[in-house]
Structure 1
C-alpha cells in the first residue's frame, strides 16, 4: 500500500503558478531597474548641465547660448517627468507582482503543509495496522503454545 496524496495535482498546479508568478515578478523588477537607471541618468545629466551652466556664467555667455541651455533644460525636465512616471508605474507593477508572488507562495505552503499532515496521518495508520498485525500474531502464538 503506497502513499498517494489526494491533492497532488492541485499542489503541482499551484507550484507551476508560483513559478510563473516568480518569473513575472523577476521581469517586473528588471523593468523597474531599467526605468530607475534611466531616471538616474537623466538626473545626472541635469546636474552636470547645471554645473556647466554655472561655470559658463562665471566666464560669460551669449544670450543665444543661454537660450539654448534653457531649452535643453526644459526638454531634460520633461524627460525627467516622463521617466519619473515610468518609474512610479514600474514600481506599482512590481509591488503588485510581489504581492501575487507572496499570495501564491502561501497557497503552495498550505498544500505542502496539508500533504505533510496527510503523510504523517498515513504513517500513523500504517504503524497502527502493523501493531494490530503483531498483536494478532502474538495472540496466535500464545494460543498455539497454550493448546499444545
Structure 2
C-alpha cells in the first residue's frame, strides 16, 4: 500500500512557497513600519523636549536671536514630523496590503492542503479496496484448489 504523490501535492508545495514568500514580505513590512514609527516617536519626543526648553527659556528670559533660532528649528521639526507621519502612514498601508496578501495565500494554501488530504484519503481507500479484492481472489483460489483435491 503506497500513498501516491499526486499533482495536488506538487501544487501544494508551490502554494506553500508562495505563502512563505508572502509571510517574508509581511515581516519586512512590519519591520519597516516599526522603524518609521520609532523615527516618528523620536521626533515627537524631540519636539516635546524642545517645547519644554522653550517654555523654561521664556520664563527665565531669552535673547531674541536665540528665540528666532529655536522657532526656526521648531518649524523645521514640524516639517520633519509631517513628512515622517506620511512615511508612517505609507508604511502602515503597505503593511496592511502585505497582511491581506498573506491571508489570501494562507487560505489558498489551506484549500490545497484539504484537497491534497482528500486525494490521499481517496488513494488510500482505493489501495485498501484493491488489497481486499486481491485477498478475496487469493482466498477463493486457495479454496478452489483445496476443494479440487
**Are 1:112 and 2:113 counterparts?**
yes
Q: Specify every segment of 5 or more residues in structure 1 that has no aligned partner in the other structure, as ranges.
A: none
- 1:55-99 residue CA offsets vs partner (Å, 9 max, x unmatched): 111211122222221111111111001000000000000000011
**Are 1:59 and 2:60 counterparts?**
yes
When normalised by structure 2's length, the TM-score is: 0.92
* TM-superposed deviation, 1:15: 1.9
- 1:97-146 residue CA offsets vs partner (Å, 9 max, x unmatched): 01101111111111111111100111101111111111112222222233
Give aligned pairs, total.
Answer: 148
Coordinate RMSD, CA, aligned: 1.5
Residue correspondence of structure 1 range 5-20 to structure 2 within 5 A: 5-20=6-21
Residue correspondence of structure 1 range 1-148 to structure 2 within 5 A: 2=2, 3-148=4-149
Relative contact order: is structure 1 or structure 2 higher (C-alpha 8 Å, sep ≥ 6)?
2
CA distance in 2, matches of 1:91, 1:28: 8
When normalised by structure 1's length, the TM-score is: 0.92
Q: Specify every segment of 5 or more residues in structure 2 that has no aligned partner in the other structure, as ranges.
A: none
Q: After the TM superposition, which segments of 4 or more aligned residues of structure 1 sit over 3 Å from their partners?
A: none
